[in-house]
Amino acid sequence: MSPEKAQAYWKENISMIIKLLVVWFIVSFGCGILFINELNAIEISGVKLGFWFAQQGAIYVFVALIFVYVKAMASIDEKYGVHE
């Protein structure tokens, strides 16, 4: 792989990682700490939404982001010809 192509590959990879980390931060810190009072106004099956995000929701989103990362990396690898 040429140096220019390798640099573009890593730039796209790092860009995707930063975007996923921003989503993770918003869900874990934002929904679990910053916006908890607003979210607690919403109840689902008797559980306040802010509490749910703080206890479980952020973990579910993190696991979902792992699958998103795997799919996105497979696409990027295929695009740059470094897939298995």
Where are the chain's structural domains? 3-80
In SS3 terms, the chain reads as CCHHHHHHHHHHHHHHHHHHHHHHHHHHHHHHHHCHHHHCCCEECCEEHHHHHHHHHHHHHHHHHHHHHHHHHHHHHHHHCCCC
Task: Find the mean pLDDT for residues 66-84.
Answer: 91
Structure confidence at residue 14 (pLDDT): 95
pTM over 0.85: no
What digits encode the pLDDT tens for the residues 15-35? Answer: 999 999 999 988 888 877 888
